[in-house]
Chain A
């Protein structure tokens, strides 16, 4: 089976699948917690209505503004502060200690309006986020490069097909295999660089 051919069936199928995806985007948008979020309230909701969350399990993410005890600010402005009890002991990814400016995500029970008793905490230094963006960008670039090199768009089937020979920069600059094949054939039909190279060969 070849699947939905190359004609209208294919166009209609693509439109249908994209429509289903669009439907999922809207569906997920209407959900209180989308598939990537955790089903607990977080720093976007808790600081605005602290009293309502006392006794509940929540996650709070923010910057460390004090270390003894650990206090995090959930707003970039420095507001929305919470004391996190046991923040260092509950760290999952390092042994600490936490420093001012570190980003911390804490999961636990809101004991009173300004105190969270942490069960699990994660931390990340600002430089680590920068590193992640940089290597992610490189990873993406590598894939795009490989795709451009290995594939071309075929107008006949209106689809991507693998190239017979990978496209490469040196070939684009005329430094390709082609002239060598010419040399074997008609000797008169040479590019200037080729005659230079052949000249060198002759001397040798």
Chain B
């Protein structure tokens, strides 16, 4: 595996999706957009491997170990259920879960689009199945343009939001 798109691209896409949803749903404030962003970042919690490698944990615990499940759909749902649901105030819980999962889904969709050496993606549905999608060969994690495109998109949406907020506070300026 050569890698995943940089975290910034995922976070920018999360911001864009969250902010677009806030246009549609009035209850969705910037704090809720942050939940989509955390969800969009969450599969990369697996990068903890860089600090605490699989082998080290395996050695310390005396059992085989891999952080990889964090980067699967089932792993994302479990993380969403703890971080995005149970740790959030009861009244907000299920909305928070939904936002977190939307973010995590966007992450997996982008990662399946990555170029891989073998032409196949990772086993996103593990442990349900080890099926690997053919890689969409769209971009490499170290490419610079995905972050630029995602950044442009996020900036556009941010400008639209600024305009809408100004208009709401002062209707004469619309």
Q: Which residues of A contact B (CB under 8 A)?
A: 1-6, 10, 13-14, 17-18, 20-21, 24-31, 34-40, 59, 61, 92-93, 105-107, 120-122, 124, 128-129, 131-132, 135-140, 142-143, 146-147, 150-151, 154, 157, 159-163, 166
- Is B116 a contact of A38 with CB atoms below 8 Å? yes
Which A residue sits closest to B91, measured CB to CB? A2
Contact flags (1/0) for B120-158 with A, using CB distance below 8 Å?
101110110010100001011111100100000000000
Contact B30 A166 (CB under 8 A): yes
User: B51 to chain A: closest CB distance in Å?
Assistant: 13
Binary contact readout B1-31 vs A (1 if CB under 8 angstroms, 0 otherwise): 1110011111110000000000000000111
A26 with B81: CB separation less than 8 A: no
Tell me if B78 and A17 are in contact (CB < 8 A): yes
A-B CB proximity, top 9 nearest: A29-B64, A139-B8, A150-B31, A128-B142, A136-B7, A35-B126, A24-B69, A162-B31, A139-B7
The reply on B89 being an interface residue by CB < 8 A is yes
Q: Chain A residue with minimal CB distance to B122? A: A36
The verdict on B90 contacting chain A, using a C-beta distance below 8 Å, is yes
- Starting from the known contacts A59-B118, A139-B41, A143-B41, 12 additional A-B residue pairs (CB-CB under 8 Å) come to A21-B69, A28-B69, A29-B64, A35-B124, A37-B1, A39-B132, A59-B117, A105-B117, A138-B8, A140-B41, A146-B30, A154-B89
Interface size on B, residues (CB 8 A): 72
A-B contact count (CB 8 A): 188
- In the complex, what distance in Å separates the CA atom of A17 from the CA atom of B69? 13
Task: Give Cα A161–Cα B90 distance, bound, in whole angstroms.
Answer: 9
Contact between chains at A163 and B78 (CB < 8 Å): no
Docked-complex contact A159 and B88, CB < 8 angstroms: yes
29 contacts between A and B (CB under 8 A): A3-B93, A4-B86, A14-B82, A28-B66, A28-B126, A31-B66, A35-B123, A38-B118, A59-B118, A93-B140, A106-B117, A107-B118, A120-B118, A120-B119, A121-B117, A122-B115, A122-B116, A128-B142, A129-B142, A131-B144, A132-B6, A135-B6, A136-B47, A139-B7, A143-B41, A150-B34, A151-B34, A154-B89, A160-B89
Contact status of A25 and B66, CB under 8 A, knowing A92-B137, A107-B118: yes
**Is the pair A3, B85 in contact by a Cβ cutoff of 8 Å?**
yes
Interface string of B44-55 (1 = CB under 8 A from A): 101100000010
Q: Known: A2-B93, A29-B54, A146-B30. Is A124-B142 also a contact (CB below 8 A)? A: yes
* B79 interface contact, C-beta 8 A: yes
A3-B85, A105-B2, A131-B142 are known contacts. Are A35 and B137 too (CB-CB below 8 A)? no
- Residues of chain A contacted by B66 (CB below 8 angstroms): 25, 28-29, 31, 34
